């Protein structure tokens, strides 16, 4: 543990959906002095996300679904175009994203490749997100997708250029999706174009 941090108190503010904690701690600053601070941290577990891509056709698979937090923060429709993603629960990241991909998109893909991991909102959320890519073909679509339980997910197949245009126009505003699309444009499709 970090000797420059001393946790004084942890209080659970909510555990209705996931866990929101208020943590009071002492932090030794760079000048050697100690300061007491309180911060809230939302713990929803860690997650995984994936971008399936078809290099021969220049396409990617994305999803569209309603996201309440975006709706209450100015997204008039509440609909968001995203890369497939899910929480790990008790699975490892590779198992999780293979299952989520099948449930959300209907694609049965097992040759997933991890490309990075990142804290997505480190000022308030504890989650680490594991990023994957996987090559696909239309023949790997084993079902309709659409999610499970209360999920209502639309599956989208776009060219990498269409996806890039949607980032530029503001139609794609999800951080994890933008990161994966930029990764694909730089490391997958740029390589395929130069080959």
pLDDT of residue 151: 79
Which residues, 6+ apart, have CB-to-CB distance to 136 below 8 Å?
52, 53, 54, 61, 107, 109
Structural domains in the chain, CATH included, are 5-43 (no CATH), 47-194 (3.90.79.10)
Query: 125 pLDDT exceeds 80?
Result: yes
The pair of structure tokens assigned to 183 is: 């990764």
pLDDT of residue 145: 87
Q: What is the mean pLDDT of the chain?
A: 94
Whole-structure pTM value: 0.92
The pair of structure tokens assigned to 1 is: 């543990």
SS3 9: strand
Percent helix / strand / coil, the chain, rounded to 5: 25, 40, 35
- The 10s digit of each residue's pLDDT in 3-33 is 999 999 999 999 998 999 999 999 999 999 9
């Amino acid at each position: 543990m970090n000797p420059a941090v001393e946790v004084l108190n942890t209080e659970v503010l909510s555990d209705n959906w996931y866990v929101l904690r208020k943590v009071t701690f002492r932090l030794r600053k760079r000048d050697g002095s100690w300061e007491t601070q309180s911060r809230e941290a939302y713990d929803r577990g860690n997650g995984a996300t994936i971008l399936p891509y078809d290099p021969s056709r220049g396409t990617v698979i994305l999803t569209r679904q309603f996201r309440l937090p975006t709706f209450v923060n100015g997204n008039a429709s509440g609909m968001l175009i995203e890369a497939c993603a899910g929480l790990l629960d008790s699975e490892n990241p590779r198992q999780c994203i293979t299952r989520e991909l099948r449930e959300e998109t209907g694609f049965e893909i097992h040759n997933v490749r991890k490309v990075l991991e990142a804290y997505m909102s480190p000022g308030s959320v504890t989650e680490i997100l594991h990023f994957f890519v996987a090559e696909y073909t239309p023949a790997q679509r084993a079902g309709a997708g659409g999610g499970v339980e209360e999920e209502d997910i639309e599956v989208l197949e776009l060219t990498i250029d269409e996806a890039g245009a949607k980032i530029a126009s503001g139609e794609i505003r999800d951080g994890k999706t933008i990161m994966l699309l930029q990764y694909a444009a730089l490391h997958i499709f740029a390589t395929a174009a130069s080959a």
